[in-house]
Chains A and B, each alone.
Chain A
Amino acid sequence: MERAAGDPGICSTRVSEILAKYSRRPDALVSILHDVQKEAGYVSEKAMTEIASELDIPVSKVYGVATFYTLFSTRPKGRYIVRVCENAPCHVRGARAVVEALERELGIPMGGTTSDGRFTLEYTSCLGVCGVAPAIMINEAVYGNLTPERVPLILKEYK
């Protein structure tokens, strides 16, 4: 899914709507953060403060949860998040060379974001498609049986 370029985050009305969808239940915090992350691409300090005040829990708790899970980010990221698996099954099948190809093609190191805000490159835990290792995930799309040669072809779809 593609978000608008230069996304400033998420407006208070939307946060409020999302909270209403879950009846402002504190136990739905992970689901709420999922929705905010999906719309804004990250969970901003402002969003966390609003969630905390509406759920009547400390901001530190919301921040603690948002930073615990790797699918949430408290900083803006690129429009496309390229998640690379380097766990053992992918490692054995040559993930290292794929990582190098991605870093080379995008011109950024692991964990970096391209200067045009288009791509963020990061590691992920096992994607559960080890039968076609090595694998990467770009936003919600998974690619398997990767070779360094296929990397530029796949990235081209997003450039």
Chain B
Amino acid sequence: MEFYRSHVLVCGGTPCVLEGCKGVRDALVAEVQRRGLEREVKVVETGCLGPCDLGPVIVVYPEGTLYQKVRVSDVPDIVEEHLLKGRVVARLVGEAPQAGVVKYEEPKYLGVQERIVLRNCGVIDPESIEEYIARDGYRALARCLTEMKPADVIEAVKKSGLVGRGGAAFPTGLKWSFTAKAGADQKYILCNADEGEPGTFKDRLILEGDPHSILEGMAIAGYAVGADKGFVYVRGEYVLSIERLGKAIEQARALGLLGQNVFGTGFSFDVEIRKGAGAYVCGEETALIESIEGKRGEPRVKPPYPGTEGLFGKPTVVNNVETLANIPPILLNGPEWFRRVGTERCPGTKVFTLTGDIKNKGLIEVPMGITLRRVVFEIGGGIPGGRGFKMAQTGGTSGGCLPKELLDVPMDYFTLPEHGSALGSGALLIMDDSHCIVDIARCFMEFFKHESCGKCTPCREGTARLYEIVDKIARGDGQPGDLELLEELGAAMQATSLCGLGQSAPVPIKTMLKYFRDEFHAHVHERLCPTGTCGI
């Protein structure tokens, strides 16, 4: 192994790619060579570093200096000043504190964070299996196969208290145990990477930044339940995720970490990628299964649940990307280690994507149970442009909206529902006080009207009617009774829709009516928009 005095990490996540990080990386490599530093300085393209709105982002180690919005034209300065002369290029460090340097590990970026899922994201080259292995990669799988019985693996996951991170929060160990118990000649592990919830891009960046952790998690699940075949169902739009995952599968096969007789133990497991084709509803597990079977992605009636009757009618575990990324560290370090973070009811961390009207946007991982206030104001840096915080939507478009009075609610899978919201996939959309509540509600409802698959009547008709009523209010044609009608319709949809789509579509509107009723009322009864932005 070669040693370098400096490592330059170039963020290669999609947000940085589209700001031109590839050009910056190439320029760095060329400039380092031109200066004859290639034996001393290593340039590494990593997965997402987190601050997505500051791309392209690079971090220079061992100092940990974070440079933001780096252009190709900045590269000669970085190489000459920082890498050759040891002086920080002050104009690229953003809002520099007194020391003149923003360190990646300091509070703004990593100080409040706790990285389990993102342990390798932004640290290793995601296209190198050697770097993953150097960070204890595939050790958990080796331990499971050589030291643990399948039942012990399931027991450890149960004890950890891990619940599904796709949004439904079902206990992962329990889910595995159903499939383990089911008798069948063939079982499957599916990784749900059909991340379509607006505002969510964590799974994309986990797959781009640490694809092997998903493969290792799937293989462990396969061992635990007795499955030898896995599928990763990825959104068709996630071009880079598909590419990196494909490379990872080939590397793992080449080293015998996937395929026949893994670690010489007789255990076999292989993974295939299936591309989605643009249907939000396929994030629902049974719709996803239908899609892998080559059909329209329409949800099935449950029961039977996939655990006993899933893909091609066989017992199937469906786990979200983030859930699977938690698996190797849990088995390597033990359930107690995992439980030291987060809350009693909901151990571990949660990966959030911060978007909307907030200073620092991007990808973060924090202990479960952190308050919205800390995320928005400590990590997110607050609201830009001197505006005030109006609300945050948690859990994506199917989640609820929280007003400023609820900034101190602990965010976990069990507390948020008590306030009518949901943690969901971990999207946090922050909105400032310039926005009109009715205009935002219309935007949410338009989404569901489009994404309802049409299979069941409450969702097909309900999403269209919800949109019509909200649109009418936004145009100044609201009638007395409309708000009550929205609530009645929403309750009916929640009670009778076939899948999570129709059941959660009314959630945002219900919480908005609960916390911002005055504003709706003004639109309906006074034909007035208090913020003056919706064009009534």
Q: How large is the interface on B (under 10, 10 to 19, 20 to 34, 35 or more residues)?
A: 35 or more
Nearest chain-B residue to A64 (Cβ)?
B296
With A64-B296, A128-B238, A131-B53 given, is the CB distance from A70 to B278 under 8 Å?
A: yes
CA distance A68 to B201 in the complex (A): 23
A127 to B237 alpha-carbon distance, docked (Å): 7
Q: B347-367: which have CB < 8 Å to A?
A: 353-357, 361-363
* Interface status of A20 (Cβ within 8 A of chain B): no
Verify B53–A29 contact, CB threshold 8 A: no
Cβ contact of B353, chosen from A33, A92, A131, A137, cutoff 8 A: A131
Of A33, A64, A126, A145, the contact of B198 (CB 8 Å cutoff): A126
- State which residues 26-72 of A face B: CB under 8 Å: 26-31, 33-34, 61, 64-65, 68-72
In the complex, what's the smallest C-beta–C-beta distance from A128 to chain B, in angstroms? 4
Stretch at the interface among B215-223, B287-295, B334-342: B287-295
Question: Which of B12-20, B27-35, B90-98 participates in binding chain A?
Answer: B12-20
A124, CB-defined interface residue at 8 Å: yes
Bound complex: CA of A99 vs CA of B229, how far in Å? 44
A140 x B199 contact (CB < 8 A): no
> With A34-B236, A88-B440, A126-B199 as given contacts, are A131 and B355 in contact (CB-CB < 8 Å)?
yes
Q: How far is the CB of A155 from chain B (nearest CB, A)?
A: 16
Q: Are B362 and A137 in touch, CB under 8 angstroms?
A: no
Q: Report the minimal beta-carbon distance from A100 to chain B, rounded to whole angstroms.
A: 13
Taken together as a complex, chains A and B put the C-alpha atoms of A128 and B278 apart, in Å, by: 12
Interface membership of B200, Cβ < 8 A: yes
Pick from A33, A61, A87: contact of B447, CB below 8 A.
Answer: A87
Contact A131 B198 (CB under 8 A): no
User: Which residues of A sit under 8 angstroms from B293, Cβ to Cβ?
Assistant: 27
Given the known interface contacts A30-B294, A128-B201, A132-B52, the answer about A89 and B356 at a Cβ–Cβ threshold of 8 Å is yes
* Binary contact readout B437-460 vs A (1 if CB under 8 angstroms, 0 otherwise): 000100110110011010000000
Complex Cα distance, B451 from A87, in Å, reads: 11
List the B side residues contacting A131 at CB < 8 Å. Answer: 15, 52-53, 201, 353-355, 361-363
Residue B201 contacts which of A26, A129, A143 (CB distance < 8 angstroms)? Answer: A129
A88/B444 in contact, CB under 8 A: yes
Compute how far the CA of A28 lies from the CA of B275 in the bound complex, rounded to whole angstroms.
Answer: 10
> Is the pair B291, A132 in contact by a Cβ cutoff of 8 Å?
no
Instruction: For the complex, give the distance between the alpha carbons of A121 and B301 in Å.
Output: 36
Alpha-carbon distance between A70 and B276 when the two chains are bound, in angstroms = 10
A145 to B200, CA, bound (A): 17
Nearest to A72 among chain B residues (CB) is B277
Q: Closest CB of chain A to B445's CB: distance in Å?
A: 11
Q: Which of B52, B295, B431 contacts A92 (CB 8 A)?
A: B431
Known A-B contacts A129-B201, A142-B14, A144-B18; A89 and B355 likewise in contact (beta carbons under 8 Å)? yes
Q: What residue of chain A has the Cβ atom nearest to residue B356's Cβ?
A: A92
Interface check A98, CB cutoff 8 A: no
Cα A89 to Cα B15 in complex, Å, equals 15
Among B19, B235, B297, B397, contact of A87 (Cβ-Cβ < 8 Å): B397
Q: Contact at A30–B198, with CB atoms within 8 Å? A: no
Q: Which residue of B lies closest to A27 (CB)?
A: B294
Chain A residue nearest to B16 in the complex (CB): A132
Contact A30 B275 (CB under 8 A): yes
* Contact between B199 and A88, CB atoms less than 8 A apart: yes
Instruction: Verify if B71 is at the interface (C-beta below 8 Å from A).
Output: no
Q: Which residues of chain A from 103 to 159 have a CB within 8 Å of any chain B CB?
A: 123-133, 137, 140-145
Contact present for A70 and B429 (CB under 8 Å)? no
CB distance from A80 to the nearest CB of B (A): 16
Which B211-265 residues sit within 8 Å CB-CB of chain A?
235-239
Taking CB atoms, residues of chain B closer than 8 Å to A3 are: none
Greatest chain B CB density within 10 A among A61, A69, A123, A137 is at A69
In whole angstroms, what is the CA distance A96 to B297 when docked?
Answer: 30
**B229 CB to nearest A CB, Å:** 13
**In chain B, what residue has the closest Cβ to A61?**
B295
Across the interface, name the chain B residue whose C-beta is closest to A143.
B18
Q: Establish whether residues A130 and B440, one from each chain, have CB atoms under 8 Å apart when the complex forms.
A: no
Closest A residue by C-beta to B195: A128
Name A68's contact: one of B296, B363, B443, B444 (CB within 8 Å): B296
Whether B277 contacts A137 by the Cβ 8 Å rule is no
Q: Is the CB of B198 within 8 A of A68?
A: no
Given A71-B277, A130-B198, A30-B15 contact (CB < 8 Å): no
Q: Given A88-B447, A131-B15, are A27 and B292 neighbors across the interface (CB < 8 Å)? A: yes
CB interface residues, A 13-30, toward B, < 8 Å: 25-30
Chain B residues at the A interface, C-beta cutoff of 8 Å: 14-15, 17-19, 52-53, 55, 195-201, 204, 235-239, 274-280, 291-298, 312, 353-357, 361-363, 393, 397, 427, 429, 431, 435, 440, 443-444, 446-447, 450-451, 453
Residues of A whose CB lies within 8 Å of any CB of B are 25-31, 33-34, 61, 64-65, 68-72, 86-89, 91-93, 123-133, 137, 140-145
Which 8 residue pairs across A and B have the least CB separation, nearest first? A131-B52, A69-B277, A29-B294, A87-B198, A70-B278, A71-B278, A126-B198, A128-B201
- In the complex, 26 of the A-B residue pairs with CB atoms within 8 angstroms, ordered by the A residue number, are A26-B294, A27-B292, A27-B312, A30-B274, A30-B291, A68-B453, A69-B297, A71-B236, A71-B237, A71-B278, A72-B277, A72-B278, A88-B443, A89-B429, A92-B356, A126-B196, A128-B14, A128-B238, A129-B15, A130-B198, A130-B361, A131-B53, A131-B201, A131-B363, A132-B18, A143-B18
16 further interface pairs, Cβ-Cβ under 8 Å (given A29-B295, A92-B431, A131-B361): A27-B312, A30-B277, A30-B294, A68-B296, A68-B298, A71-B278, A93-B356, A124-B278, A125-B278, A125-B451, A128-B201, A129-B15, A129-B201, A130-B353, A130-B427, A131-B363
